[in-house]
Amino acid sequence: MEHRNANESSLVTVVINGETRQAMTEPRTLLAYFIRENLGMTGTHVGCDTTSCGACTVLMDGVPVKSCTVLAVQADHHALMTVEGLESIGGLHPLQQAFWDNHGLQCGFCTPGMLMTSTALLRDHPEPTETEVRHAISGNLCRCTGYVNIVKAIVNASQKMASEPAEV
């Protein structure tokens, strides 16, 4: 049996925001740092490293995960979506626009995690109630807003997205 040095780098391949990317990383590297440092995508924020705040939330195979507690090697050959993946041709994603229009952010630190959690929510529940929105974002902390405008923004985005024609 061959033993691997704990510091030996591993090649990690992910499909991130629709693009296949590879990078070498140590097996102990957290996914949040892999995304930020190895792939150069800094939209994913690191706030606590303990799953308490949710600022680092990304979608892995469509499921929200707190990337501060997932090892990069665990994401090998998985599909990831970060806040950078929400960018639309010609403008903001309707969810991003709703956060802007409804003042759903102040300092903006929690916003990437809120947006990613909300993306999964609206995909699975296109017309959530305020209670469902509050439950969905309960793992994401915001130290500035009090959540009222965040919830308002998510509900507003769901209404706007429901009234838009479906993309082909």
Angle at 112 between CA 160 and CA 31, to 5 degrees: 135
Q: Which of 56-60, 144-148, 152-156 has the lowest mean pLDDT?
A: 144-148
Nearest to 22 by CA among 36, 10, 35, 11: 11
Virtual torsion, Cα 123, 129, 135, 139, nearest 10 deg = 50
Between residues 131 and 8, the one the model is more confident about: 131
Q: What pLDDT shows up at residue 10?
A: 96
CA–CA dist 126, 136 (Å, integer)? 13
Q: What pLDDT shows up at residue 4?
A: 59
29-43 per-position pLDDT tens digit: 999 999 999 999 999
Mean residue pLDDT across the chain: 93
Task: Map out the domains of the chain as residue ranges.
Answer: 10-85, 87-163
Mean pLDDT of all residues in 57-83: 98
Look up residue 128 and give its two tokens: 């959530």
Q: What pLDDT shows up at residue 146?
A: 86
| pLDDT tier, 150 (very low <50, low <70, confident <90, very high otherwise) | very high
Q: What pLDDT shows up at residue 88?
A: 76
Q: What pLDDT shows up at residue 89?
A: 73
Mean pLDDT of all residues in 136-148: 93
Is 87-163 assigned to CATH 2.40.50.140? no
Examine the pLDDT at 99 and tell me if it is beyond 80. Answer: yes
Q: 32: which residues sit within 8 A by CB, 6+ positions away?
A: 44, 46, 56, 58, 67, 68
Which option is the CATH number for 10-85: 3.40.50.720, 3.10.20.30, 3.90.870.10, 1.10.8.80? Answer: 3.10.20.30
φ/ψ (deg, to 5) at 142: -125, 125
